[in-house]
Amino acid sequence: MAKVIVTLKLMPDSPEVDLSLVKDHARKLVEKYGAQYGKDEMHPVAFGLKALHLILIVDEEQGSTDKLEAQLKTIQGVQSVEVIDVRRALG
C-alpha cells in the first residue's frame, strides 16, 4: 500500500512550554501509533509563541489520524493539534 506524508501542527498553551519535551513525548506516541517520525520544525506564531510541526509517514491503510491527534492533545502543555498537510508519497 502507499505511504502518506502527514504534517501535524501542535500549538502549545503558552510561550513558556518546553517544546523539546513535547517533541520527545510526541515521538513516542507517533511510534506507538505505528507511524514513522520524519522530522519536526518550530514555526514562530506571535509574541514568542512557536508551533511545533511534526512530519510523519503513515501507511495509507491506517486511514485517519484522529486517534493519534487525540493522543497528542493529552501531552501536557499542548493546546491543540491539527492536520495542516497530507500528501501521498511517490516511489
| Tens-digit pLDDT profile for residues 16-46 | 999 999 999 999 999 999 999 999 999 999 9
Q: Using CA atoms, how far apart are residues 48 and 69, in angstroms rounded to an integer?
A: 24
> What is the pTM for the complete model shown?
0.92
Cβ-based neighbour number of residue 23 at 10 Å:
16
User: Grid coordinates 501535524 are at which residue?
Assistant: 8
Is residue 1 scored above 80 in pLDDT? no
pLDDT, tens digit (0-9, with 9 covering 90-100), for 53-88: 999 999 998 889 999 999 999 999 999 999 999 999
SS3 string of 35-64?
Answer: CEEEEEEEEEEECCEEEEEEEEEEEHHHCC
Instruction: Give CA angle at 78 (88, 60), nearest 5°.
Output: 20
Q: Is the pLDDT of residue 14 over 90?
A: yes
